[in-house]
Amino acid sequence: MIAKDGSELAELRKRIRHSTAHVMADVVTAMFPQAKLAIGPPTDEGFYYDFLVDKPFSSEDLERIEDEMRRTVKSDLQFEFHEYPREDALAMNAEQPLKLEIIEGIPVDESITTYKHGDFEDLCAGPHVESTGKIPAFKLLNVAGAYWRGDENRPMLQRIYGTAFESQVVLDEYLAQLEEAKRRDHRRLGRDLDLFSTHDETGPGLIIWHPKGARIRGLIEDFWKDEHYSAGYDLVYTPHIGRSTLWETSGHLEFYKENMYAPMDMDGQNYYLKPMNCPFHIMYYNTALRSYRDLPIRIGELGTVYRYERGGVVQGLLRVRGLTQDDAHIFCRPDQVENEVNDVLDLTFKMLGSFGFSEFEVTLSTKPEKAVGDQSNWELATESLRRTLENRGQEYDIDEGGGAFYGPKIDVHIRDALGRRWQCPTVQFDFNLPDRFGLRYIGEDGNEHRPYMIHRTLLGTMERFMGVLIEHYAGAFPTWLAPVQAQLIPIAESHLKYAEEVGKKLTDAGIRTHVDLRNERMNAKIRDAQIQKVPFMLVVGDREIEAGAASVRMRSGENVGARPIEDIIKLIITESDART
């Protein structure tokens, strides 16, 4: 069995963080008696607790809360587990309307449990550490608004975020990482490097790509297309809207409607902005009767789709409403499934490696509660994906119930330069859509058969992947992706003509070049080029003109010295072609 078990450290952190959330809730209700409690779970990065209060918490409030929490921790109060009849639990929470709502949602045959420390007692199933004194190190981070139950029609709560670890050393390392993450924030760098923008006038989650950002995106897309043609894919373009009958047949209006935009009435027919590309790729498949010899058919598209994300979760490039998927669908015979999934994973790791990612974590997600298809198909599909992973010797976690509504899936998570985990590639098995759309092929036996269908993305979406890349590189894109690879910096006005001549040579050689013709001092031009994270800065003056050269400075601050122009061209092209 290659599936990985959860670690003891993860369990310890969960207990510490859950306990710290309870301590915070205790202190908040003592300091702000009018505060009403909601929920306070541990998370992968820390914990939070939601409160219903009359006015938002301030940064000064957080400092006071944290100070008081330290006193509670020092008191070393025991965490005590209790179990109550429903009536007693309701009576205990008579002044807590949100807790009453939680209790009402608990099935009548389930017990109601709490954890208590000191005088504070809260609905909870645990787990916790033994006592508050077993909380080694914690820090409150920030406060934000959050709708109760995630419903924008419900009250706005105040959510206090914090984190806790098994030691002060580890906490300090994490806080340092948070500071570095702020420095790498793709929203700030996107603005500073002039890559993209969003605007109230166009609406949240809709990206305007600026020329530099569009150049980087175009380079990624060209690389993606070349790799897919080499891997035997055919690429298509499909519409941005589709008639309602298409989405009824696909099941999206039944299972995905809450994420779709409202219909448009055109000629008495409802049309929807597409939330996914798959039905259109199926339309292509159905343009001809396929033979078993035609399969597999691999159809790819950089297809832009539109999904409604709540305003509160839209975030820069990471959560958007208009997104371009590096989408593909593979139509294959049952005997081809494992080979195709294996090839997808090979292509995934190859392409991600070109962007500098080398650490991967794989998850196999199984049938969710809301799903289509009979159980035997789910079992067959899940076993097929599992067998593929194990035959590769690939370690993986299992996410029970985390599959798509139409089939199980494999998700690949990458680790960035800060060690953060991002889910990008996904491979999804689908036996639902081939049935719904009546897909068929003529088998070797001369009879009609149903093909299997595999959905997959390698980068995820262009928007999210770009956001990850910006933060991974801290905006300093490798030479092959840099929007400007070389910047010519003439020392004085008399050197402008030579700088333009050199710039043309580099441009003609295929190097993305900018000549800084501003009437600024050389040092200011160098500093600005470094701020813009240009890989190569080429300074030219009298000596360089006489030698037919340029002085090379790297964005790292390294001064390479004067080099002949042809050598500089070779240097930049070699580094770019190596994708390092």
574 CA to centre of own chain: 32
Helix ranges restricted to H, 231-277: 244-250, 252-255
| Residue 375 falls in the annotated catalytic set | no
Q: Which of 124, 278, 332, 424 is catalytic?
A: 278
Q: Which of 96, 158, 325, 487 is catalytic?
A: 325
Say how far apart CA 336 and CA 400 lie, in whole Å. Answer: 26
Q: Which of 15, 139, 409, 514 is catalytic?
A: 409
Q: Which of 307, 525, 553, 555 is catalytic?
A: 307
| Residue 210 falls in the annotated catalytic set | no
Query: At CA 100, angle to CA 95 and CA 106, rounded to 5?
Result: 155
Q: Which of 99, 298, 329, 512 is catalytic?
A: 329
To which residue do tokens 């991967």 refer?
Answer: 360
| CA-based nearest residue to 253, from 233, 230, 272 | 272
Say how far apart CA 385 and CA 362 lie, in whole Å. Answer: 12
Q: How many CB atoms lie within 10 A of CB 201?
A: 6
Contacts of 296 (CB under 8 A, 6+ apart): 330, 331, 332, 333, 336, 340
Say how far apart CA 388 and CA 369 lie, in whole Å. Answer: 24
| Residue 128 falls in the annotated catalytic set | no
State both tokens at 413: 């998570």
Instruction: To the nearest 10°, report the CA torsion of 556, 560, 564, 565.
Output: 0
| Residue 409 falls in the annotated catalytic set | yes
Q: Which of 99, 128, 455, 456 is catalytic?
A: 455
296 preceded by cis ω (within 30°)? yes
| Residue 329 falls in the annotated catalytic set | yes
Q: How many CB atoms lie within 10 A of CB 364?
A: 24
| Residue 294 falls in the annotated catalytic set | no
Q: Which of 327, 411, 416, 430 is catalytic?
A: 327
**CA distances in angstroms from 105 to 99, 231, 254, listed in the order given:** 10, 51, 25
| Residue 177 falls in the annotated catalytic set | no
Active site residues per annotation: 278, 307, 325, 327, 329, 409, 455
